[in-house]
Amino acid sequence: MRIEPLKLSGTFKVILNPRKDERGYFMRTFDKAVFEAQGLGNDWVQENQSYSVRHVVRGLHFQRPPQSEAKLVRVLAGMIVDVFVDLRRSSPTYGKWDSIELSSENQTAAYIPRGFAHGFCTPDSEALIAYKVDSPYTPSLEGGLLWNDPDLGIDWPVEDPLTSPKDGQWPKFRDFVSPFA
């Protein structure tokens, strides 16, 4: 397992290392010591699973403090483009976004720290996603940004995606007051 920084401060690509033979493979998907060596000492409290059909966009979601959450996202089947937006007001990349392709084939995960909005899309196939969070879900602290906000300019690789009504009603970034220092 290798952990490499991504473009936005605090985000990381986690490259898993499957050990393959004629039977299939085995791989470690989380190692507390490896994460702590990178300064990522999260106490994961929940693991969630999400299934999406082709051409879906989910997001951009976050939880407000004090229940803000870091996430460790990986794909069990299929492929997604995972997107995250920096909402930390003091960050030099505040309001910027980045993305990473996660798939069952590339055996890669994404670490997204607290203070980011998160979403993903399934451009070419259905996908099964698993993600750990370090804070329990609290509905009253749920927040989001409009997934297709032109000011953010996220390059979603899908046209006319299937989204939830809720995801179409989040505020635009310019109307958003960040609760993250």
Known catalytic residues?
A: 61, 131
Measure the CA–CA gap between 76 and 104, rounded to whole angstroms: 5
Residue 11: name the closest of 31, 33, 39 by CA: 39
**Bridge partners, 21 (sequence order):** 24
Strands of 18-145, DSSP E: 19-21, 24-26, 46-52, 57-63, 71-77, 79-86, 97-103, 108-112, 116-121, 127-133, 142-144
Buried b (16+ CB within 10 A) or exposed e, 126-145: ebebebbbbbeeeeebebbb
